[in-house]
Amino acid sequence: MRRFFASLLLTLLVSVAFAAGPAKETKDSSVLPANFNGWQKNAASVKTSSDPAVADQADAAVLKEYGFSDVETVTYTRDDRRMEVKAARFSDTSGAYGAFTFYVLPQMQTEKISDQAVSNNKRILFYRGNVLVDVTLDRITAMSAADLRALSDALPHPRGTTSTPPTLPLHLPKPSYVPHTEHYVMGPVAMERLQLPLPSSLVDFSKEPEIASATYKSSEGEATVILIAYPTPQIAMERVRAMQSASLPAGRFQFKRSGPIVAVVNGNVPASEAQSLLASVNYDAEVTLNEPTKPDPKNNIGNLIVGVFMLIGLLLVISLILGVAFGGVRVIAKKLFPDRVFDRPEDVEFIRLNLK
């Protein structure tokens, strides 16, 4: 009997172990869909990793700065067609957008796919939410854009604050902008790899800044505009003073502070055009009015006093009605039933003590 229970217990434990094992392995953490628009995922080609070096060995540190989470590479097939897809997931949309701008080249073409997309012949790069997708097609057809839109729609999308893109790039000047030169930087490694002219030591990444930069045409060549957003205007004021007092090439750098944003212009640009670029950078604080535009009736002292008097009047009317009703019933009862309901002799007798 003991052997029977022991073998039964062992069988149950093995069953639980096998049941728990596959559940953990088959947990759906995939970024890319199994199929879309007739394209089927080749299961044998699927590779996943949480190592940024697998996604990009040369710039693994850059991906780490952008909040890299994991990467999945897949080969899709449809008839005789092939599509190589690499999807990198980040902690939020800002990271995916920053990585997207890191890989964008000026010679790429803008595509209308997902949040933002560019292409370079058979290579298409786009991001949706916190996922950056790099696609290589075997050939371009009239349906390629529709296929990639279907792929984008099948991607998971973050919710809440992680789905909000950065707002700093919106402050970059629009006139004379060179397309596809915008970059969003979240760390010193990306800033160095992008060869931004301002030293990272002056930016001071210990203050947790975010950076947006772009290239602009001028009458003398090209200029770079760098926007550095700090958590508070006080930090921005301290950093712009440090930049202005640093040993930088004279006349090559011009600075401006607008709220928590420090704007820097560098390059082959006349002083007047540099000032025009700086004048285009203005921080507008978003102020939310919590006070009502009209008086709240609940907080109006006049309405409160009127309400009090109305309540007093209502109580007086109710008291009068009840008093008349009670007295009238008593009078009628005495007339109809004298000495039987009210004022009966046994009710009016009282105990008397003759104390002498």
pLDDT tens column, 70-120: 999 999 999 999 999 999 999 999 999 999 999 999 999 999 999 999 999
Q: Which residue has the higher pLDDT, 259 or 14?
A: 259
pLDDT at 338: 74
Q: How far is CA 175 from CA 9, 178, 215, in A?
A: 76, 9, 11
Q: Tell me: do 170 and 279 sit in the same domain.
A: yes
Range of the domain at 115: 30-161
pLDDT at 13: 45
How do 116-120 and 109-111 pair as beta strands? antiparallel
Q: Tell me: do 182 and 69 sit in the same domain.
A: no
pLDDT at 327: 81
Domain boundary among 226, 258, 284: 284
pLDDT at 307: 86
Domain boundary among 258, 284, 310: 284
pLDDT at 290 over 80: no
Q: State the average pLDDT over residues 339-354.
A: 63
CB 139 within 8 A of CB 114: no
Q: Tell me: do 155 and 34 sit in the same domain.
A: yes
Exposure b/e, 125-144, CB count within 10 A at least 16 = b:
bbbbbbbbbbbebeeeeeeb
pLDDT at 129 over 70: yes
298 — pLDDT class (breaks 50, 70, 90):
low
253 part of a folded domain? yes
pLDDT at 79: 93
pLDDT at 23: 37
How do 116-120 and 183-185 pair as beta strands? unpaired
pLDDT at 195: 94
pLDDT at 9 over 70: no
126 part of a folded domain? yes
Q: State the average pLDDT over residues 175-198.
A: 96
Exposure b/e, 72-102, CB count within 10 A at least 16 = b:
bbbbbeeeeebbbbbbbbbebbbbbbbbbbb
Write the CB contacts of 46 (distance below 8 Å, at least 6 apart in sequence).
Answer: 30, 72, 73, 74
The percent of residues in the chain predicted with pLDDT above 70, rounded, is 83
CB 70 within 8 A of CB 48: yes
Residue 64 CA to its chain's centroid (Å): 19
The amino acid at 285 = A
CB 239 within 8 A of CB 256: no
Q: Tell me: do 252 and 171 sit in the same domain.
A: yes
CA nearest to 82, candidates 122, 49, 109: 122
pLDDT at 315 over 90: yes
Give the DSSP H or E segment for 243: helix 233-245
Number of domains the chain is built from? 2
pLDDT at 291: 56
Q: State the average pLDDT over residues 228-237.
A: 97
Q: How far is CA 216 from CA 39, 66, 87, 169, in A?
A: 41, 25, 31, 14
